Structure formats: C-alpha cells, structure tokens
Structure 1
Amino acid sequence: MAKFVYDFTEGNKDLKDLLGGKGANLAEMTNLGLPVPPGFTITTEACRAYLADGRTPEGLDREIGEHLGALEKTMGRRLGQADDPLLVSVRSGAKFSMPGMMETVLNIGLNDESVHGLAKQAGGNERFAWDSYRRLIQMFGKTVLGIDGDRFEHALDDLKGARQDYDLTPEELQRLVETYKGIVREETGREFPADPREQMELAIKAVFESWNAPRAVLYRRQERIPADLGTAVNVVAMVFGNCGMDSGTGVAFTRDPGSGHQGVYGDYLQNAQGEDVVAGIRNTVPLQDLEKIHPEAYRELLGIMETLENHYRDLCDIEFTIERGKLWMLQTRVGKRTAGAAFRIATQLVDQGLIDMDEAVQRVTGDQLAQLMFPRFDDKAAKKRIATGMNASPGAAVGQAVFSSERAVELAERGEDVILVRRETNPDDLAGMIAARGVLTSRGGKTSHAAVVARGMGKTCVCGAEELEVSPAERRFTAPGGVVVREGDVISIDGTSGAVYLGEVPVADSPVVRYFEGEREAGGDDLVRAVHRIMSHADAVRALGVYANADTPEDAARARRFGAQGIGLCRTEHMFLGERRQLVEDLILAEGEEERQAALDALEPLQKADFTGILEAMDGLPVTIRLIDPPLHEFLPDHVELAVKVATGKGTEKDAKLLEAVKRLHEQNPMLGLRGVRLGLVVPGLFAMQVRAIAEAARERREQGGDPRPEIMIPLVGAVQELEAVREEAAAILRETGVEALIGTMIEVPRAALTAGQIAEAAEFFSFGTNDLTQMTWGFSRDDVEAAFFAKYLELGVFGVSPFETIDRDGVGRLMRLAVEEGRAVRPDLKLGICGEHGGDPDSVHFCHEIGLDYVSCSPFRIPVARLEAARALLTFGGSDTR
C-alpha cells in the first residue's frame, strides 16, 4: 500500500514531486538542524487520489492518525487538549511555488474550551488566545466553508474602528469570536465545528480541493505548470507571532530579488501571524529593524540565511516567526526574482564558487533574457489607458497614430515616429510595419499576420484590441468612453501588457539590446557583464546552431550582430510586394510565352539584387532561400472591389481582363490552394527565374572575393515527385553557372513528414515549417481560430499552451521525430532545421535539441534567446549523446 504521510525527519529537498516544495524544504531544514516546528506532510499522491475519487484514499486517515499521535508525543500535548492544547496549521505546498493561489488554515484545535488552555500556556495572555481563536474561525470560514471573507473583515473593521487590531481587548475579541460564529451559522446553517480532529480533516480536504480553484488554475496556465501534479499538505505544530510585542513574523531574502544585489532584505511585523504580512493589515518594518527589536533572533536569522544560501546555492526566500524571542523557521524556497536579478545572481554565485558556469546557464531562461531586451515604459510616468488588447509582440512604442502603410512610410522618412493602426494587417502593409515603431490592430490574435511579422522584426505589437472602433477611411479610431484618436495624435502601446495609452509615455531603452547590437562594451554595466558571461559560455557549449529568419540585407546584418550563424529562412514572396506586385500581376495575366518571359525577365535582376545584398551580409554563412510561397490571391486585387468597379462602368479594359483572371484563380481556401511547389510547377519559368537569380548573385559575390553559401528550399512539398521535378531544373541551372548549393525542402505538409524517407532521396536538407505543419496537423487556420476559441480551449485544458506558440509534441512533434528518423536513415548527413515561429520558443528549442536537429531559425530579435536555450537544452539532456 502506498505511503501517504511523511514526517519532516523522513524527507529531503529532492522529494518535491512527492512532498511539494514546502514539505520537501521543511524536511531539508529539519535535517540541517534548523529550528523548524515539528510536523508531517501528506503527499501529492494522496491529493491526486482524492481529486480523482472524491474521497480520501484508503489508509490515509490511519496514517494521519499515527503521525498526529507521534507529533502529540513529541510536543507533550494533544490536539485541542482543553487545559494544554496542541494547535496545528494546515498549509498547501505544490511542487512549484504558487504564492497565494491555494489555502492555509492556522490555529486548528481551538474551541470554547481549549482557548482557555491556550491563554494559560501564554502565561495568562487572554488577548492572544482570543485573537488566535477569531483568526481560526475567520480563515476556516473563508477557506473551508466558502464564506465570503469580506463578512469577517467588515465585522473586524466595525469593531476596531481607527485602532490597530492589536489594540483590541480580550473582551472585545471574545465578542468578535461570537460574531464570527454567528456568521458561520447564518452562512452554513451549522455551528462552527468544535471537534479539533474534524477541523483538521476538513482543512486538509479544503487544501486538496484548492488545487482546482479558479485562481490556481489560472496561475498554472500562466506559468505553464502541469495541471495533474496536485498539492501536498503540511500539518505543522503552531508557533505564535501574535503573543505580544516580543513576538512577530517576517519574510527574508538572502539577496535582493529585485536587483540581485547582496544584503539584508525583507520585512518584519511585530505581534502578528504570517498571514498578516501578506494581507497588509499593518505596515511592516524593514528586516534590518529586527536587530534593534530582537538582537539575538536577528543574529541567529542572519546565520541561518547564510547557511541556507550556501546549502541551496541560490537566493532563498524565507518565512519565519518569533515566539517570545524564540526564532522558528516556517518555510524556505528558492526565491522568485526579476530577470535582471537572475543574471546577476547566477554570475555572483559563480564568483563565490557555489556553482560553475554550466549551472549558471541553467539558472537563467530565455524568457528572462527576452524581458531584458524589451524597451519598457517608465513605471513612474503618468499614463492614461484607453484600451487593452493582446500582448502580441513585447516592447514599448510611442508615435503618431497613422492608418495606412503609405502614410507610415511617408512620415517615417521625415524622421517621425508612428504607430500603424489597422483593423488587421496584410502583406501589403509590410513597408508600413517596417517604418512604424509599433503596430496596433483591433482584430486578430497572437499568431495573426501583424503579430507574426512584428515579432519577426522585434517590433512592438498589440493585436485584437476589440474595444477600438478603427475607421481607416476617416483616419481615426474611437476608444471606450468616447475617446477619439485622429491621425497625427500621439499614442503609446505596450506589447508586454497589451495596454494602449493616450499620449506619449516615456520609454527606457534596454542596455542589453544595445550590447547585442554592439553599441556598448560588456564591461560598463553589471547586468550587461552578467549577460555577456552567460551568453559566452552558452555559445561555447551548445550543440544546436541558431539561424535567422530574414528577408532583407538589413535584417540579415542585424541577425548577424545578434549572433546568427546563418539564415534558415529567406521568404522570397516578401520581395514581390510594393511596386513589384505589378510585375507578378503581369506574370499571372500573361497570354503566351512571350508575355510571361517578359515578366520573368523584368523580375530576375530585381531578385538577383535582393539575393546579392543578403549573401553579402551573411558572407561565409549558409543562407537558405525559400522559393516563392504565397497564395496567389495576395498578388491580385480584391474580387468584390474589382467586380463592382467593372459592373459600374468605372473599370478599364485591363480591369475586365484582370477580373477574369481573378475569377479563374479564385480559391475557397487559398492557404491550401495553388502555392509553394504547386505554383512553381504550374507557372512555367517562375522557379527557374528565382534559382538563376540566386546562382548569378552567388557567382557575382564569389568573383568579388566573397564566400556565398546559398541553399535552395522548395516549399510545400507533399510528394517526392514534386521535389524531383523542381530539383532537376534547379540542379541544371546550378551546374550551368558553376555554383554549389544544397537543394532541400520545407517539411510543412503532414504527408511530407510521413514519407520523409522517400523525400530524403531527393533532398539534401529538411527545414520544418512548423507554422503550416501545425495548421495542417490540427486542421485549423491560425489566422482565424485563435480569437474564436483558443481561450476556451485553454480553459478546458485542451491546450496547455497555444500550439502556435510551443510545438505540440504529441502531434506535430511526433511527425517531426518520425521525419528525422526516416530522413536520416536514408541520408545520414541530412541537414535538419526548423524555421517556423517555434524556432525562438524556449520549450520548442529544447524539443529540437532532443530530436536531433542541427539548427533552429527564428526572427533576429529572438536569436539571443535561442542561443541561450540551445545551451540549456544540451545541459538539461546531459550532453550531445542524446543526439
């Protein structure tokens, strides 16, 4: 039979899965000989069994009874004993810290008889005893019985008026207890339970059930904590900080969790219990003041803090109570910290010899590094929030609101800052998005066009701000409360929170970005120095290469400054927008070989110039160029608008001809239509023109003394025959020009993954296009469904996180793993990478290392994150032997 209960003397800090973080650390402190009140922990396995069956598992009550008996023997008192009571607390404690999310009940064991025994224990302190009793009823009523906590708070406030809670007399507190018991009677129809064992059993069940409380569920979702872990329950002998002014409670940190700097940090509250510090019922005093209040306890606490930090080799967060001058440790855990503190502390611990650089890399995360790179609004500045949308791409941006891409470009060329405001963006808005400081849309989700492109550029973006009524024709938007923002008015958008502000909010630049851009040395700022040390070590140990998704020479150059080792995705369709769109339109409408060739001849030198600039920027590094992959409708006018124009007689002969083409090429689902390799096979000469432009650019660079390394990627292949048809033509052009280039494909169609062995016969590399692979595997469009039902899916637990943010390992990931295994079985030297949005997601980077990819490719701004996570992945998996 499973063991469900462990005494503190039986556990240790490595049993967090079983005992939860709090229980494991209480056991560890007990083993270290620190002053921890005795107690025991009910395991997470018991919680999971209770939640699954709706009742306590067989044997649990017996084990609790045995451990309670042992605790009573240790303490020399029985639970709720009338003349000399043992009181206990019942506290939650999951594997991962979830502060304030679950429940705690103090002072269990008090009733109308034992309250007098407690006063006797405290030397006749009646006030302390009745204060403890009212706290029990208040916490028990709220936590266990589900009574609105405000009812108890209002009764307390009415009684004390302007006084502090510790000014209440014993008689007043006794009356308050009766008031509280009356509230319980009114709300539940029953008396407050006087049986101490019943109090404890009900409190334990309430802690179990709090695992699925809405706030706990929401917190787990935000922090990506698995929903099936359950919480442990800790039953601890009570020690009291509310015995008088010689007692108190506090929280201490071994370093500043905000900055990482060493020193004495924390708060202390006299004559209080632990919950009072969290509730903020009175102002605390700085921890340093404890030296004057209780010098001996203060010195002992500092010694314990040093012991714990050296033992855990990290910043420790400590809760303690002083009972009549005696120090007791109630909890310790590795403390939460800001991103800046995380990097500083990691390198400080290396310098102290507590950890090595491998461990330092594992102590920080890509998410924390990303936070350090985002520009931020000044927290102290006054702000007027007018709307809130989705935090699609982090950062802070300020500028004039503009409502068209053209206007954005026009003003940006004058040196003015603008925010591009649209209902939603489309590929034609690319120039405006590049020109703008940030993008704001009233429609779309985190994987909409605006979000994806903005993230790729490191551009601040707020999407789906549905409160805004955007009127592009009138060049204005209306916010709630009748606020009207017209073109030229200044707004500020926060891509980290999703907030939209009226007017200019001051922005603070990130020194970490300036460091990555090469604008400052690593020696000037302690945070930058810490980032430099960790990133240097990460680059030295990681096995995964980190490439960039970049479509212009400027993006390529920036990616290289950020540490990119090549380009994993150059999207050529982005090169056909703007003025060139007319040339593509001419190609589509061409009647006969002569017109088609004329359009191709016009495009080729433009393409060659594009590729020359990118190859020059990435000289000596691989550049994977994806041949054109757009749905054709993106290059044609809107069907409805064109039809109206022709029908009303306002159209020209060319418009009529164009309308016929639009009708002919119209598709119900363009993303699954004539695009990618299909387009290259159907439109003669299109792919050949692009391959020749690549080859000629590479040859020119080589003649100029450069070292171009192009790779040609065929998109949307689902059958090896498609790839073979294009490969044969491409290889002939490469031979003709004397240029060497790998020819491979993007694995983005499930059938390609399932037939990877066949495709590897013709492909020299695979690049996983996880955006489309996710769409096609799940069967939904990322542009359409996120706002429609993703929130509900997250709420229901269908998703733990959006599959467009992190690779779905069970579905999409399984296809990827199969493709890797079958592709490498046929071609052992097959080069493998990923170029979807997931390439910069920390969890996805770990998965890519796990399945043996050679590189990940992501937007330039996310390159440092991917570099760091690639190293963390290797260290987590124990080295490259997993590859």
Structure 2
Amino acid sequence: MAKKENKPKAKKQASSKKSPVAKKSSVKTSKKSPKSVKYTYLFGKKTDGDAKMRNLLGGKGANLAEMARIGLPVPPGFTITTEVCAYFYANGKKYPTALAASVKEGVASVEKQMGKLFGDASDPLLFSVRSGARESMPGMMDTILNLGLNDQTVEGLAAKTSNPRFAYDCYRRFIQMYGDVVMGVQARTEAETEPFHEVMEGLKKEVGAVLDTDLDVENLKELVSRYKALIKERTGKQFPQDVYEQLWGAIGAVFDSWMNERAIIYRQKYGIPADWGTAVNVQTMVFGNKGETSATGVAFTRDPANGENVFYGEYLINAQGEDVVAGVRTPHKIAMLSKEMPKAYKELLAIRSKLERHFRDMQDFEFTIEENKLYMLQTRNGKRTGLSAVRIAVEMNKERLMDEKTAVGKIPAESISSLLVPVFDPAAVKKAKPIAKGLNAGPGAATGKVVFSAAMAELENSKGSKTILCREETSPEDLRGMIASEGILTSRGGVSSHAALVARQMGKVCVCGASSIHVDYAKHLMSVGDIVVKEGDYISIDGTTGEIFLGEIPTVDSEVVRVLNGKMKPAKSYTYQLFETVMKWADKYRKLGIRTNADSPAQAKSALLLGAEGIGLCRTEHMFFEGDRIDSMRRMILASDTAERKAALAELLPYQRSDFEGIFKAMDGHPVTIRLLDPPLHEFLPHDSAARNALAEKLGVSSEFVAERCNALKEQNPMLGHRGCRLGNSYPEITEMQARAIFEAVAKVMKGRKPVKVMPEVMVPLVGFVQELKFQVAIIHRVAAEVMKEKGVKFSYMVGTMIEIPRGAITADEIAEVADFFSFGTNDLTQTGLGMSRDDSGSFLGKYKELDILAKNPFASIDQAGIGQLVKIGVEKGRGVKPKLKIGVCGEHGGDPESIRFFNDVGLNYVSCSPPRVPVARLAAAQAAI
C-alpha cells in the first residue's frame, strides 16, 4: 500500500546542474496564490485540459491533454500548472497550501485508471516527472523516470512482471537520476565527469560487459548497492525509500531546474521570459526496456533537417527514452521498425498522419512500445532547420494543411537566411577525402578548430576563432559551447539526440553518431584509425552529407545566391523555388518597405537582388578609407585654415562624386538616402607614432605638427563630441563638398548616354536642435541650386535628418517643420537613450540578462518600453506637423524580426538593414502585418 504522504519539501541539495548564475536569477512573480482555481489538471481517460491551455499547462502538458482528447494512447497523469512555479519562486520555494491535496487527488485518479497503487509493494504504480514550459526547451530542465521504486517495490515489480532484470534496470536508472538531479551527487574533480557513469563503467569492466544491456540481474543489484553507497558518501544522506518523499523531491527538482544555468542561457538566446515558469508533468511510466518486444523512440512527421515529407526518426529496442535523447547508444532508423515491430510501425504511421492533420504542423513526438503495445508520451511542433522550415511551410500550403498567412507565420524569419549561406565548394570536396562519416543532423558547411569542451569553444570564440565542438555526445551542459561554435560533431547519438535537436534550432551545422571516431578528452585529441586530430587542428564538417574532412575546405555561394546572380537556372534549384515562393508571400502581405544599408555599388546590387527597394543608409565616411583618398581626408583634417581645408576637400570631391554615380546607377531609380559625414575627425587619423611619422613625410609637414593636431582632436567622449551635424556647422565647407558631390553625380547620371532616374535623399546626422538642421539645409539647398544652374539640369531631392539622440525625438515636431523625412538611427539612439556604450556594455549586459534587468541585448533588439517610446514620440510629433512625413529606421534593429514588428506597429514607412538581412526583413515585415 502507499505510504503516508509527507509534506511538500522545497529544500534540495545543490545539484551539479546548478550554478551561481541560477541562484542569483529571479522570476518576477506575485506572492499570492495562483489565479487558477485548479493546481493540477488531469490527462488520460479523464482529461481537464487541451492544446489552447499551453500558458497554464506548458506545451507538454497541453499537448498531452490534446492527444488524449483525440484518442491517442497516452499514459494517464496530471500536470501541475506554471502558476505554481511562479508562486514557488515568489515564496521562498514553498508551495500553495492546497497543492499537496491536489497532487494526492491526481495520484488517486491515476491509480484508479491504472488499477495500481503508488508505493504498492506487490504491483507498484511508477511515474515519470518532467518539465514543460510554454515554449519547448529540449534538455534544458530536469526529468526523473521510474519514480516510486524502492527496496520493496522493486521486488514487487520483479515478481509481477516475472522479469527481475527489467525491475532492477529501472531501479538503477531511477537511483542514478534521483541522486544526480535531486540529491546533488557531484563530480569531485575535473577528470571525474559523471560519478554514476564511472561506477557503472567500473562494474562493467569487472564483469566483462560491453553494453549496459550485458549486465545481468545480479550485476544490476550490485550496481544499485554501489549507487546508494555513492549517494551516502557524497551527500551524507540515504536514498529515500518513501515514495511521496521521492515525488515531492522530483517536483521540487523540476521547478528548481527552471532557474538552472543552462535553462537561463537557453531562455536568453531565444527570448523566453523568466516569469513564464514551467509546469510539471507527472505521468504513468510505460517501459521500453522490458526486453526484445519493447522499445522507445523519437520521431518526426517530416524530416526536420531538410523538410522532406518522409517519416523520420529513430528508436532503440529494450531501452528507455533517455537512452535515445542522450545519445548513449546509437539508435536505429525508424524505417527498420517496420521489420522488427510491423504492428507498432503501422500504428505509428497512422498516428503520424493524424497528428499532422490535427496540429497542422510538423510534429516531433516520443513513443514507447511496451511488450508490443504502443504509447504516446509527448508531441510538439518540431524544431527544424531554416531550409526545413521553408520547405514544410510551402509544401503544407500545397497540401492544404496551412493557408498562406499561416505558412508565413510558421517560418522563423531568421531561418530564411540559412538558404543564402555558403556551402562547400563541390570541386574541393571531390578532391578531399572524408576521414569519417556520421548522420547528417544539421545541414550546411562548417570549418573550424577542433575543441573538446564548451569552455574552450567560448575561449576561442572570444579570440575570434571559428570552432567545431567535438564530443562523444553533447549534454545540456554543453550549451554555451554549442552557441559559440560553428558546428557540432559527436561520435555517438542519432538524429534526435540532444546535439542534433539543439543544433537544428540554432541553425548550427551538425554531424552526429560518427562512430568510427574515438574521442580522448584526457589527451585532448580524437582519432579515426591511424589518423589523429588534436585540439586546435582544423576540420570541416558537412551537415548535409554527414562527411568529416581534415583541414579547411573552401566554400561557394548557395544555390539561391547562384540563381540570383545568374549562374544557375531557377528550374534546377528546388531550394530557390522555395525561397521565391516565400518571398512572394512576404511581399504580398507586408506593409513596410525594405531598404538596405549600402556604401558601394556592389553592396547595392547585392541588396537589390535580394529584394531591397532602395538604400536607407549610405555612409559617406566609409568612402574616405579607399585607396589614396584617405591622404586627402587627413590633409583636410590637419589643415590649419579654411583655404587649406577647401583645397583638400577639392581633392576628395571627384572620389565622392564617382562613388555616388556608381551607387545611383546600381540602384536604377530606387531611392538612396545618403548620410553626411558622421564620425569624429580623429577616427580618420593614425594612432601609432610610426604611422604618424609616415603621414607627416607624405604631407610634407613635421611629425610634431601631426602629433600635436592628433592630440588636439582627441576627445574624452567622442560619441557625444564633435561629430555629425556639429562638424558640418563648424566646417560648412565639408557639407558643401559632400552636397556638391551628390548633386553633380545626380546631374551626370541623368544626362548620361543611358539616363538613370535618381531619387537622392540627403540625411543630416545627429540633429537635436532644429537650428542645427536649418543651417545644414540652407547649405544643401544652395549647392543644389548652383549645380542645377551649372549643369543645366533640374532634379528632385529631399533633405531630412537622422533622429539618433533623445532630444531629436522629443522635439520632432519642431524638426519636422524643416525636414522632408526622418530616419531613426537606433544604434546611437539606444546608446544615448540608455546611457550605455555599444562597445563597452558587453562587460555587464550578460549579467543584466541573467538578472532579468534586460530581456535581450538592446543593441540587437530594440528596447520597446524605453527607446521604442522615443521612436513612437518622434513618429507622432513629426506626423503631427507633416501627416505624410516619410519615416524609416536605419540602425541594426532594421534587420531584427522583433524590432521590425514594433516598427510596423508604430507606423514607420520602411526599415533598412544590411544586404544579407533583406530577405529576413521582408519575411518579418509580412509576419508583423499578418
């Protein structure tokens, strides 16, 4: 019979999975009891929830309820809501008073459905205890399986099943998981990776076993004894025999794991709010480790790597689910199940079809076959690569499983860029000989230095080096290294292993299960036969073919880029056809215009091919660094009077004019926004004495003069110093030269043999006072009139400003009286608005994200509640004066999907981003509009 219930225990030993990061992180919650009347929701024969309740039940709990509702074979259980998690963190890791009774009722319901009792010594009911956030976080939180086993119930399970080996295999798994996750058994040294694993390996060596499955029942009993001794030695506590103590320990461990280091890092990367919390799912155990008629697996309704409409996945006979995901054994492809267990395979095919029809998306599901009976343990929208996301959306639209708007929304905007990344040069690959081959788990081409630890990957990344993280198999603790690496290679595990799953979501190149590779962590090397690869050596991995090569293999443009450049026919590239379909959809639904940031004709042409509708930012200062023109620029800066300065500017004028001619021709009638000189002058001068001496000699002045001028121009805070329109107002001849170069280029291309329509927009940077803009506008209009008279041509143009300091946004109504357009320079607006340096804030941004002060890096995704409100004020005030005022954004945020959604909502006309981000922006703009 079940033993007496203990009070819920929130206290837990420090786990090896925890870190100082987790302890200092906080969840913003209320100390009040959860809003919902219910703390637990049933699923199974009696089901309380459904798929729409994912905020309360988490994704896993909501989908378990939904699968039960549509008649799939789901082992019964109950879900503890996310609101309890919020209460748990707001109240010193305590639970609502009535939760204990609610959990007990949930257990009782499952007992009634299963005809078994929790803690019964003759026929025990066992549970799995798993996390379940709103958004899937694979492997980031803790799981406990086989809960409810103790020294008595394991004997009852052995007798009931007539399978003692199975019973003790479950018991040793449970003790290992519980000891690690709940009781905090930790490695004592760096060399000791996993204490329980080392105990098992020691026993296997003693008895001559190769695989875990080679251990007989007596071996497993010995292993159980050694595991319990290890727990006692490391924690000073006995492994608990009370099943309710076990249950509350597991529940607390899952809630605790919401704030472990790897979960925090994952949430930061994918923008998942800390205050969402996790649910806890307590589900009846079903067993894939009951022998040759049992199995466990993970399957996808389509190929998550390339999106092909094939049944995809893998399984292991006589195993539990963690064996597949952890990559401890390399599993079989799902197609083999048709021969080994044809009945179960046929059932899975029917379930595959039913899941897609019901959820209308590609599904990733877990299943267990217990003595030839199939059970469904989980389903979720499957993680997929960029190519896969595009292909699945397009093909599901053709299959009428999704309409166009839904299909557009199902493709993460960032994923479209994966169709544009380079691939290995086919000619170079033909000459190269692969040293090994694994499973193609994450498509693409990656080259980098071999590293064997997450720490080394982070270190090399901080130095600017590209790396390939090589592991026997990855675990959630490797997450930092996976983020820092170009690609991931494992010697064990399959296409549904942790490495493959996380790599696909991150868009990382990944090869798994390269079984011929032997990794030696102690010696920092890996080997394939006689070939030895040391840490720091270069390798190349092909996530599309699964091949691994020594050294660096050159890359070439992707199929999409080759088609766009006319080097490949569209009909020969299915990838391009997918890309074109999605881009047509995006352009059909978006409201925002998409421009590009481009400073050269080559960049402009590239952006046009990718769908840009104009240039939103042409930085004129970048032009001054090419060839010998930097000497003229430096001569201008070092000039001792206006006459000298004008002479140097006259040398620069032809260069600038020529550059603008090339850009205008490349843009062929599309608008071009040209920002006048913005950086402080000292940025153009040499910083070391040797370079200064060389400059002095070239200009025919003394080294002392150059050094004196450089020191005079040095500023304490150059970002807030003598730059932007302040330069133009101090030295109006600079603005005159740039305006003349622009307008003379306009006149020339308009009157050329092949006349080109030109739409120039001259942008004055760093305006905070309307009078600053008035002075600059007067110069620009005067020069434009002079050029039109001199060249005998009339042209249209606009003069506007970049809103990049708070005063400019707040006084936008005054500035709009003079400006023809606004463009928000959100890079500097963020710096000046937050008082944070983009270059120096890296020292604390990471900590601020850990502490949930900042949800995201504000220089990557706009701070909507702060800087975003300055944008909103600027738009409202500007359009209050000029209702049809054209307004765009040209900071880095113009290519960020979340920022684009905000810009769409506040009514901007366009966003501008770097050329490679143009397709991302087109898709994100469509999603924002939809």
Regarding TM over 0.5, the answer is: yes
- 1:127-177 deviations in Å (ceiling 9; x for gaps): 222222222212111111111483322333333432443343333333332
- 1:435-468 deviations in Å (ceiling 9; x for gaps): xxxxxxxxxxxxxxxxxxxxxxxxxxxxxxxxxx
Match of 1:563? 611
Check whether the contact 1:23–1:232 (CA below 8 A) recurs between aligned residues: yes
Match of 1:758? 814
* 1:836 correspondence with 2:871: no
Check whether the contact 1:12–1:25 (CA below 8 A) recurs between aligned residues: yes
Match of 1:155? 199
Match of 1:706? 756
More off after superposition, 588-597 vs 292-301? 588-597
Among 166, 169, 182, which residue is 1:128 paired with? 166
- In the aligned structure 2, how far is the partner of 1:659 from the partner of 1:592? 18
Match of 1:89? 128
DSSP-derived class of the 1:15 partner: helix
Among 878, 886, 889, which residue is 1:823 paired with? 878
- In the aligned structure 2, how far is the partner of 1:541 from the partner of 1:650? 57
Q: CA deviation at 1:725?
A: 1.4
Q: Where in structure 1 are there 5+ consecutive unaligned residues?
A: 398-480, 485-489, 495-500, 876-883
- 1:37-89 deviations in Å (ceiling 9; x for gaps): 11110011111211221211232112112222222222222211122221111
Q: Where in structure 2 are there 5+ consecutive unaligned residues?
A: 1-34, 188-193, 436-446, 451-456, 469-533, 543-548, 789-793
Change in Cα spacing, 1:522 to 1:225, as seen in structure 2 (3 Å) is: farther
Alignment of 1:449-464 (within 5 A): none
Query: 1:745 is aligned with what amino acid?
Result: T
Change in Cα spacing, 1:10 to 1:392, as seen in structure 2 (3 Å) is: farther
Check whether the contact 2:186–2:234 (CA below 8 A) recurs between aligned residues: no
Check whether the contact 1:344–1:526 (CA below 8 A) recurs between aligned residues: no
Change in Cα spacing, 1:482 to 1:620, as seen in structure 2 (3 Å) is: closer
TM-score normalised over the length of structure 2: 0.79
Among 737, 744, 748, which residue is 2:800 paired with? 744
More off after superposition, 727-736 vs 210-219? 727-736
* 1:109 correspondence with 2:148: yes
Match of 2:775? 725
Check whether the contact 1:375–1:396 (CA below 8 A) recurs between aligned residues: no
Aligned residue pairs total 778
Check whether the contact 1:846–1:870 (CA below 8 A) recurs between aligned residues: yes
Q: CA deviation at 1:624?
A: 0.7
More off after superposition, 548-557 vs 638-647? 638-647
Query: 1:859 is aligned with what amino acid?
Result: S
Check whether the contact 1:313–1:354 (CA below 8 A) recurs between aligned residues: yes
- 1:1-41 deviations in Å (ceiling 9; x for gaps): 63221112111112211111111110110000110011110
Q: CA deviation at 1:764?
A: 1.5
- In the aligned structure 2, how far is the partner of 1:392 from the partner of 1:348? 42
Superposed CA RMSD: 3.1
Query: 1:106 is aligned with what amino acid?
Result: L
Q: CA deviation at 1:393?
A: 10
Query: 2:783 is aligned with what amino acid?
Result: I
- In the aligned structure 2, how far is the partner of 1:296 from the partner of 1:642? 78
Query: 2:407 is aligned with what amino acid?
Result: A
- In the aligned structure 2, how far is the partner of 1:187 from the partner of 1:653? 75
Alignment of 1:120-519 (within 5 A): 120-122=159-161, 124-148=162-186, 150-160=194-204, 161-376=208-423, 385=449, 389-390=460-461, 504-519=552-567
Query: 2:85 is aligned with what amino acid?
Result: C
Change in Cα spacing, 1:390 to 1:743, as seen in structure 2 (3 Å) is: farther
DSSP-derived class of the 1:540 partner: helix
Check whether the contact 2:126–2:285 (CA below 8 A) recurs between aligned residues: yes
DSSP-derived class of the 2:859 partner: coil
Check whether the contact 2:169–2:220 (CA below 8 A) recurs between aligned residues: yes
More off after superposition, 345-354 vs 71-80? 71-80
Check whether the contact 1:619–1:709 (CA below 8 A) recurs between aligned residues: no
- In the aligned structure 2, how far is the partner of 1:512 from the partner of 1:396? 26
* 1:41 correspondence with 2:79: yes
Match of 2:491? none
Query: 2:449 is aligned with what amino acid?
Result: R
Percentage of identical aligned residues:
50
DSSP-derived class of the 1:563 partner: coil
Among 577, 581, 584, which residue is 2:630 paired with? 581
Q: CA deviation at 1:374?
A: 1.7
* 1:10 correspondence with 2:48: yes
Change in Cα spacing, 1:599 to 1:281, as seen in structure 2 (3 Å) is: closer
Q: CA deviation at 1:502?
A: 10
- In the aligned structure 2, how far is the partner of 1:96 from the partner of 1:493? 30
Match of 1:74? 113
Query: 2:167 is aligned with what amino acid?
Result: A
* 1:715 correspondence with 2:770: no
DSSP-derived class of the 2:570 partner: coil
Check whether the contact 1:522–1:532 (CA below 8 A) recurs between aligned residues: no
* 1:776 correspondence with 2:776: no
- In the aligned structure 1, how far is the partner of 2:693 from the partner of 2:539? 36
Q: CA deviation at 1:556?
A: 1.8
Q: CA deviation at 1:641?
A: 5.5
DSSP-derived class of the 1:685 partner: helix
DSSP-derived class of the 2:310 partner: strand
Query: 1:778 is aligned with what amino acid?
Result: L
Change in Cα spacing, 1:597 to 1:109, as seen in structure 2 (3 Å) is: closer
- In the aligned structure 2, how far is the partner of 1:646 from the partner of 1:626? 28
DSSP-derived class of the 2:301 partner: strand
Match of 1:403? none
- 1:345-364 deviations in Å (ceiling 9; x for gaps): 11111111111222222221
- In the aligned structure 1, how far is the partner of 2:48 from the partner of 2:884? 52
More off after superposition, 740-749 vs 82-91? 82-91
Check whether the contact 2:449–2:535 (CA below 8 A) recurs between aligned residues: no
Change in Cα spacing, 1:396 to 1:281, as seen in structure 2 (3 Å) is: closer
Check whether the contact 1:357–1:534 (CA below 8 A) recurs between aligned residues: no
Query: 1:703 is aligned with what amino acid?
Result: K
Match of 1:627? 676
TM-score normalised over the length of structure 1: 0.83
Change in Cα spacing, 1:165 to 1:255, as seen in structure 2 (3 Å) is: same
Q: CA deviation at 1:562?
A: 1.9
Match of 1:662? 710
Match of 1:100? 139
- In the aligned structure 1, how far is the partner of 2:589 from the partner of 2:467? 33
Query: 2:69 is aligned with what amino acid?
Result: N
Query: 1:99 is aligned with what amino acid?
Result: P
More off after superposition, 861-870 vs 802-811? 802-811
More off after superposition, 792-801 vs 52-61? 792-801
Check whether the contact 2:419–2:579 (CA below 8 A) recurs between aligned residues: no
Q: CA deviation at 1:689?
A: 2.4
Q: CA deviation at 1:381?
A: 5.6
- 1:531-562 deviations in Å (ceiling 9; x for gaps): 11111111122111111111122222222222
- In the aligned structure 1, how far is the partner of 2:649 from the partner of 2:286? 83
Change in Cα spacing, 1:623 to 1:651, as seen in structure 2 (3 Å) is: closer
DSSP-derived class of the 2:117 partner: coil
Match of 1:409? none
Q: CA deviation at 1:307?
A: 0.4
- In the aligned structure 2, how far is the partner of 1:384 from the partner of 1:726? 49
Alignment of 1:13-24 (within 5 A): 13-24=51-62
Alignment of 1:522-561 (within 5 A): 522-561=570-609
Q: CA deviation at 1:806?
A: 1.8
DSSP-derived class of the 1:523 partner: helix
Q: CA deviation at 1:685?
A: 2.1
* 1:56 correspondence with 2:117: no
- In the aligned structure 2, how far is the partner of 1:645 from the partner of 1:533? 55
DSSP-derived class of the 1:829 partner: coil
DSSP-derived class of the 2:856 partner: coil
Q: CA deviation at 1:859?
A: 1.5
- In the aligned structure 1, how far is the partner of 2:560 from the partner of 2:239? 57
Match of 1:462? none
